[in-house]
Structure 1
Amino acid sequence: MKKINKYFAKALFSLQILVFVCLLSACKKNDGYNTEPISTDKTKPGVVTNIKVDNYHGGAYITYSLPNSDNILYVLAQYKINDKTSRETKSSYYTDTVNVEGFATNKPYDVTLYTVSRANVKSDPVKVVVNPDVPYYKLVKPTVVITKDFGGVNIQALNPFKKAIGMILIAMDNSTQRLEVSDQHYTNVDSINYSVRGFPSVERKFGVYVTDKFGNISDTTILDLTPLFETQLDKTKFSVYKQPSDSEIGYGWDLPYLWDGKVDGYSNGWHTNPGTGKPMQCTFNLGISAQLSRVKIYERPLEYAFFHGNPKSFSWWGSNAASPVDVVLPQSAPVGTVVGDWINLGNYRYPNPPSGLTPGFTNAADEAFVKEGVDFLVSASAPPVHYLRLLVHDTWGKGDAAHLMEVTVFGKPQ
């Protein structure tokens, strides 16, 4: 044992020496690294020359030649992007280009360039004029369309360059009698289409403007709109409309549990029987004909959140026939597709865990998100329906059984 300890001690000592040598080597390398402002040379550096400007939407690339000096640390660009906001951008000694961005509009802007030495001494200023193209947020603004929707408004716009922009909804506030910010929607998708709810069905002044990450703001589109009436449908009128193509029930989780108001995860919900394959579906009677605005689903929470039989991708089909005939619906169909007595009201995907964690390894916040329920919107152009059919295409657990705790339906009774 002593012999083993002796060799172990020698090996450990050798390893410590090796680590020390590596650290010392790294320190020596850093001593000569040109980004460290360690110079004591207070000489004013020379200016950049051979300046060229390459404009783009909302910004410009400025290329240049550096003065012949080993004492340069970086190039500094200072400029104003609008009447209020000043910005500065630094570019390393190792590059020959500085990117200036965030300009509010397409017009000439002055940019002042400095070289800065390793002793933080600035050169004389060099003035450059850039003339950026129309910024991205201004390209989005002319495409904005705002229309009335159930309980609010629908906002659409095109963002072909997929840039980060903000769609800001303002609405007349009854208490302040002013247009106040009602919703802020930030996105970088190319086709923007979303709805803002929670307004009564009375005429109101609404407005939308577009902003970007630099704080620039477009002009505002203002309209007087009357949101479509929306109410929660009475669940006491719901009833089972069992069809031959519907899935077998598993574990005694019968369909009426889907509208009993219990979402705690400890009560029963709807559950299909494993091993019976696809389609995983159920059909029920709303008890009234209604033009639907949204369907809120409550997936199974707790340890089942984003896991097991909780639906990941699914479709809602509806029928307004007096007694719709059963039919095996396709697993994939565009919205508006009609098959027999049934029409596709929408194809949906449940959102990913808000935490960003991998499904199956989620946290308490994700479980709370599931327990709050998620709204899935139905187009205002969809026809009224008296019957609903849920068709589950895929679950988070990728199994052959699906389950849900609760469904709440909103719309306008006919």
Structure 2
Amino acid sequence: MKKIEKYIVRISPLILVILMGLLSSCKKNDGYTAPVSADKSKPGVITDIKVKNLNGAAYITYTLPNSPNLLYVEAEYNINGKTVRQTKSSYYTDTVLVDGFAKSQDYKVTLRSVSRANVQSDPVTVTVHPDTPYYLLVKPTIKLTADFGGVNIKAVNRGKSPVGLILIAMDVSTNALEVSDQHYTNQDSINYTIRGFSPTPRQIGAYVTDKYGNVSDTTLMTITPIFETLLDKSKFSTYRLPSDSPTAYGWEVPYLWDNKTDGYSNGWHTAPGGPQPIQVTFSMGVSAQLSRFVMWERPDQYAYAHGNPKDFSIWGSDKPAPQDASLPTLAPVGAVVGDWVNLGNYHFPDPPSGLTPGFTNTADAAFVAAGVNFDIPPGAPIVRYFRMVVRDTWSGGDFAHVMEFSIYGNPQ
């Protein structure tokens, strides 16, 4: 009996602690809206207000009231005649940023001090006059031009502000302008092509938005896309030149157009330790003005690794039998060396995940397996022969491999 009593005495404090915890957890939860202070006095107003106008925004600085119960300062303002925004700044700072304004004009901003008991001060109103918002600075720089199978869009975003370029096009089924593409970016130089249009005149327009819902007016014009088609791979053939890289492991040049992109089939693979630069040449069997090409690198465990090209150039020739030449690994687009002209210099896109190559994920592998589109700059000369010169691979090694090419353009 004594042993039992001794055991009970030892465990009782632990039980008591547990019970106290359970009881405390059952207390009523007043929620996040419960006042954090019982002091219901009204805080003082901010004073000594100054305004610094920015593009589509303004910094407002002030002197905080001498209110020990102050929690934050709140700014309330209408940015475009329909949308009201609220911005808060804690009592640790003397500045609040108001942003999202649609135009460069006067706007009223109402400022209130707010206490820890959620009591507001009397309002103070200040006028701001923001500079032109970035989305309106981008709008006049938009240039729409006909491109292969669609329209090319160029614009300048010097502020590198997040903007959306919205392309609208006449829909033949609805006979109305419909949204055809939405492109969001914060890059300073914008240049991309939207494809999928027939080579017939079509009304096309573009406008700019920002993350606050502001919308510019629309640039409208009639554009006739340039005809584009996938070149017939049955006409492709090997055109080996003396300086082309020797192949290895049974991965020969014709596998570059056999329509097999999986990791189990053969592609083109050069021999390790071969002469530099790494290069391959073939005939497309027809002269064409090229618009773009899709390249499939070796997928799965080889994605962003091994001999997959990282930086490379494409050269072309329309000579009946172009002669070999020592081509540089990097040259200006349009540069001519012997019978060959540089059609473009390319960097295979970095892993979409942002991870370091070697630590990429399944989404990055899927991106590689799907093939990557590379545009040929507009106005490129007509060519019949296609030559790739590899400047660097993802492993930095002395060999390279590619699974497949699909080449688009306008055959002559």
Aligned with 1:102 (options 100, 103, 114): 100
What is the distance in 2 between the residues matched to 1:56 and 1:354?
33
Does the residue aligned with 2:169 lie in a helix, a strand or coil?
strand
What RMSD, in angstroms, separates the aligned Cα atoms of the two structures? 1.1
Residue matched to 1:228: 226
Residue matched to 1:198: 196
Residue matched to 1:364: 362
Residue matched to 1:15: none
> CA-to-partner distance for each residue in 1:265-295, whole Å, 9 max, x for gaps?
1000000100114211100001000000001
What is the distance in 2 between the residues matched to 1:257 and 1:324?
22
What code does the residue aligned with 2:362 have?
Answer: A
Q: How does 1:130-209 map to 2 (within 5 A)?
A: 130-209=128-207
What is the distance in 1 between the residues matched to 2:362 and 2:58?
45
Residue matched to 2:284: 286
What is the distance in 1 between the residues matched to 2:366 and 2:186?
27
Aligned length: 379
TM-score computed with the length of structure 1 as normaliser: 0.90
Residue matched to 2:307: 309
Cα shift at 1:62: 0.6
Q: How does 1:192-271 map to 2 (within 5 A)?
A: 192-271=190-269
Residue matched to 1:46: 44
Residue matched to 2:316: 318
Does the residue aligned with 2:168 lie in a helix, a strand or coil?
strand
Does the residue aligned with 2:350 lie in a helix, a strand or coil?
coil
What is the distance in 2 between the residues matched to 1:101 and 1:365?
35
Which segment is superposed worse, 174-183 or 295-304?
174-183
Does the residue aligned with 1:268 lie in a helix, a strand or coil?
coil
Does the Cα contact within 8 Å between 1:205 and 1:223 map onto a contact in 2? yes
Residue matched to 1:405: 403
* Consecutive unaligned residues in structure 2, runs of 5 or more: 1-33
Does the residue aligned with 1:120 lie in a helix, a strand or coil?
coil
Does the Cα contact within 8 Å between 1:37 and 1:73 map onto a contact in 2? no
What is the distance in 1 between the residues matched to 2:128 and 2:82?
18
> CA-to-partner distance for each residue in 1:361-384, whole Å, 9 max, x for gaps?
222222221111111001221011
Which segment is superposed worse, 254-263 or 163-172?
163-172
Does the residue aligned with 1:142 lie in a helix, a strand or coil?
helix
Does the Cα contact within 8 Å between 1:277 and 1:401 map onto a contact in 2? no
Aligned with 1:123 (options 102, 109, 121): 121
Does the residue aligned with 2:135 lie in a helix, a strand or coil?
helix
> CA-to-partner distance for each residue in 1:290-310, whole Å, 9 max, x for gaps?
000001000111111111111
What code does the residue aligned with 1:61 have?
Answer: Y
Residue matched to 1:64: 62
Does the residue aligned with 1:124 lie in a helix, a strand or coil?
coil
What code does the residue aligned with 2:168 have?
Answer: I
> CA-to-partner distance for each residue in 1:95-151, whole Å, 9 max, x for gaps?
111000110000101110000001111111111110001001111111110000000
What is the distance in 2 between the residues matched to 1:173 and 1:398?
48
What is the distance in 2 between the residues matched to 1:214 and 1:304?
42
What code does the residue aligned with 2:124 have?
Answer: V
Does the residue aligned with 1:383 lie in a helix, a strand or coil?
coil
What is the distance in 1 between the residues matched to 2:307 and 2:51?
57
What is the distance in 2 between the residues matched to 1:194 and 1:99?
33
> CA-to-partner distance for each residue in 1:151-171, whole Å, 9 max, x for gaps?
000011111121111111111
Residue matched to 1:330: 328
Does the residue aligned with 1:137 lie in a helix, a strand or coil?
helix
Does the Cα contact within 8 Å between 1:75 and 1:115 map onto a contact in 2? yes
* Consecutive unaligned residues in structure 1, runs of 5 or more: 1-35
What is the distance in 1 between the residues matched to 2:52 and 2:335?
49
Structure 1 vs Structure 2: percent identity of aligned residues?
64
What is the distance in 1 between the residues matched to 2:52 and 2:35?
30
Does the Cα contact within 8 Å between 1:64 and 1:96 map onto a contact in 2? yes
Cα shift at 1:37: 6.1
What is the distance in 1 between the residues matched to 2:161 and 2:323?
47
Aligned with 2:373 (options 358, 371, 375): 375
What code does the residue aligned with 2:393 have?
Answer: T
Cα shift at 1:198: 1.0
Does the residue aligned with 1:356 lie in a helix, a strand or coil?
coil
Residue matched to 2:80: 82
Cα shift at 1:357: 2.3
Does the residue aligned with 1:258 lie in a helix, a strand or coil?
helix
What is the distance in 2 between the residues matched to 1:146 and 1:375?
21
